[in-house]
Amino acid sequence: MAEKKKINVGMIGHKFMGRLHNHAYTNVEAAFDIQSRPVKKVLCGIGDDVPETAKRWGWEEWSNDWEAVVARDDIDLIDIVAPSKLHKEIAIAAAEAGKHVFCEKPLAMNLQDAKEMVHAVQKASVVNTIGFNYRKTPAISLAKKLIDDGRLGRIFHFRGLYSQDWLVDPEFPLAWRLRESEAGAGSSWDLGAHVVDLARFLVGEIDEVIGSQMTFIKERPVAKIEDGLTAIAGDEMGIVDVDDATSFLAKFEAGAMGLFEMTRYGTGHKNENRIEIYGSKGGIIWPGFENQNQLYFYDAEDPDGERGFRRIQIGEGSHPYSSGWWPVGHNIGFGETFVHEVYDLLTAIDHKAEVSPSFVDGYKCQEILAAVDQSIAARSWVKVSEVGNL
Ligand code: SOE
Q: What is the average pLDDT across 312-320?
A: 90
With bands split at pLDDT 50, 70 and 90, how would you rate the model's confidence at 79?
very high
pLDDT value at 59 more than 80: yes
Q: How many CB atoms lie within 10 A of CB 191?
A: 25
* Best mutation site among 162, 164, 188 for ligand 1 pocket (most ligand atoms within 8 Å of CB): 164
What is the tens place of the pLDDT at every residue in 320-362? 999 999 999 999 999 999 999 999 999 999 999 999 999 999 9
The count of other CB atoms within 10 Å of the CB of residue 273 is 23
pLDDT, one tens digit per residue, over 83-107 is 999 999 999 999 999 999 999 999 9
| 272: confidence class by pLDDT, cuts 50, 70, 90 | very high
Nearest partner of 363 among 58, 158, 88, 39, judged by Cα: 88
Indicate if the pLDDT at residue 226 is higher than 90: no
303 DSSP assignment = P
pTM of the model: 0.96
**pLDDT tens digit sequence for 232-250:** 999 999 999 999 999 999 9
The pLDDT, as a whole number, for residue 318 is 87
| pLDDT mean over 260-265 | 98
Instruction: Give tens-digit pLDDT for 361-379.
Output: 999 999 999 999 999 999 9
CA of 218 to the centre of ligand 1 (A): 21
- State the average pLDDT for the chain: 96
Q: Among positive and negative, which fits the CA dihedral 120, 343, 38, 80?
A: positive
Pairing of strands 245-252, 257-263: antiparallel
Residue 229 has what pLDDT?
A: 81
240 CB contacts (<8 Å, ≥6 apart)?
A: 174, 178, 186, 215, 217, 218, 219, 220
Burial 227-250 (b: 16+ CB within 10 A, else e): ebeebebeeeeeebebbbbbbbbb
State whether the beta carbon of 261 lies less than 6 angstroms from ligand 1. Answer: no
What per-residue confidence (pLDDT) applies to 351? 94
CB atoms within 10 A of CB 85: 17
Is residue 164 lining ligand 1, measured as CB closer than 6 Å? Answer: yes
| High-pLDDT (> 90) share of the chain, % | 96
pLDDT bucket at 262, cuts 50 / 70 / 90: very high
Q: Is the pLDDT of residue 11 over 80?
A: yes
In total, the chain counts a number of residues equal to: 390
Nearest residue (by CA) to ligand 1, atom 4, is 229
Ligand 1: nearest atom to the Cα of 334? 10
H helix or E strand, kind and range, residue 19: helix 16-31
Q: Does any ligand 1 atom lie closer than 6 A to the CB of residue 271?
A: yes
Mutate to test the pocket of ligand 1, among 135, 172, 187, 190 (most ligand atoms within 8 A of CB): 190
Residue 1 above 70 pLDDT? Answer: no
The band of 162, judged by pLDDT with boundaries at 50, 70 and 90, is very high
The mean pLDDT value for 96-125 works out to: 97
